[in-house]
Amino acid sequence: MSSFLEIVELVNGDIVLQRADGEGDALMTIHFSDESKNYLPEGRLEVARAMIHAGIETASQLEIVGSESGEKNEGRESDTRLTDDAESRVLH
């Protein structure tokens, strides 16, 4: 398994974070709506890179805070709501 990750734009316009060796499923997929593609015709990759970077930074900080307090994030109650439609969404 490769320890290197890469950001790739797919033919359909989605941007994925995946292992550089191409093994396994994408770790993250970012899909931009048609409306947002019109606003960012050339800047989607930069926005996706910033989103991924922010996510990694946040996950790292949560890991540090969790290990310092001795708490695990698993099983913790969160303030989320799921809709009943076919496409469930988590509201934060």
pTM, whole model, 2 decimals? 0.65
Strand-pair partners of 6:
18
CB of 14 within 8 A of CB of 1? no
pLDDT, one tens digit per residue, over 1-38 is 558 999 999 999 899 999 999 889 999 999 999 999 89
Instruction: Indicate the pairing of strand 15-19 with strand 28-30.
Output: antiparallel
How do the domains of the chain map onto residue ranges?
5-69
